[in-house]
């Protein structure tokens, strides 16, 4: 890792439609996330927070993106550590769940993200103890987990045999 700070960026863009008054609070929360690699992601507030039709249920919302960022960061470190340790991962899946609630200051926050990773290995698989150690290292190294006060829990899920 570089010793110099790394800057990351995203451009967020929203535009009011001509038929929206805006001041009546009846406007679309649909917007775009634009990333430096050229990817545009349709985003919106969650329909749990702002009711339809003002939210766009098919778009990614910030809460989902937060959960995905934590899960993705954890997975990327897990894969790197597994490869370094000689474990060959065939696939990895995480059905992560975030919980919104009141934090210690009484403000609405993502209070917990529960990662539920499941990985299948080719050849010899790590023992449960080795798997737990891999996930622990991954959590400790994850930039996103190190950046938030949200409680992040990892519940390892065993692959189901076919």
Task: For 94-152, write each residue's pLDDT tens digit.
Answer: 999 999 999 999 999 999 999 999 999 999 999 999 999 999 999 999 999 999 988 89
Q: Compute the C-alpha angle 59/47/64, nearest 5°.
A: 55
Average pLDDT, whole number, for the chain?
Answer: 94
In this prediction, residues 28-48 reach a mean pLDDT of 95
In this prediction, residues 1-17 reach a mean pLDDT of 87
Say yes or no to pLDDT of 1 above 90: no
In this prediction, residues 2-24 reach a mean pLDDT of 91
DSSP labels for the chain?
--SSPPP--EEEE----TT--STTS-----EEEEETTS-EEEE---TTTS-TTTS-TTSB-HHHHHHHHHHHHHHHHHHHHHHHTT-EEEEEEE--EEEEEE-TTS-EEEEEEEE-EEEEEESSPPPHHHHHHHHHHHHHH-TTGGG--SEEEE---PPPP-
What whole-number percentage of the chain has pLDDT above 90?
Answer: 88
Say yes or no to pLDDT of 160 above 90: no
- CATH for the 63-154 domain, from 3.30.300.20, 3.40.50.2300, 3.30.1330.40, 3.40.50.360: 3.30.300.20
Residue ranges of the chain assigned to CATH 3.30.300.20: 63-154
């Amino acid at each position: 890792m570089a010793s110099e700070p790394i800057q990351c960026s995203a451009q967020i863009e929203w535009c009011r439609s001509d038929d929206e008054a805006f001041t009546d609070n009846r406007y679309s929360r649909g917007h775009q996330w634009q990333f430096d690699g050229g990817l545009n992601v349709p985003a919106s507030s969650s329909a749990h927070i702002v009711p339809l039709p003002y939210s766009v249920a098919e778009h990614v919302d910030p809460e989902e993106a937060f959960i995905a960022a934590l899960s993705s960061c954890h997975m990327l470190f897990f894969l790197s550590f597994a490869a370094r340790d000689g474990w060959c991962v065939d696939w990895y899946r995480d059905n992560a769940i975030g919980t919104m609630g009141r934090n210690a200051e009484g403000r609405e926050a993502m209070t917990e993200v529960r990662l539920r990773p499941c990985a299948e290995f080719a050849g010899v698989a790590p023992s449960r103890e080795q798997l737990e150690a891999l996930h622990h290292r991954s959590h400790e190294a994850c930039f996103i987990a190190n950046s938030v006060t949200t409680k992040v829990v990892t519940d390892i899920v065993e692959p189901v045999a076919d």
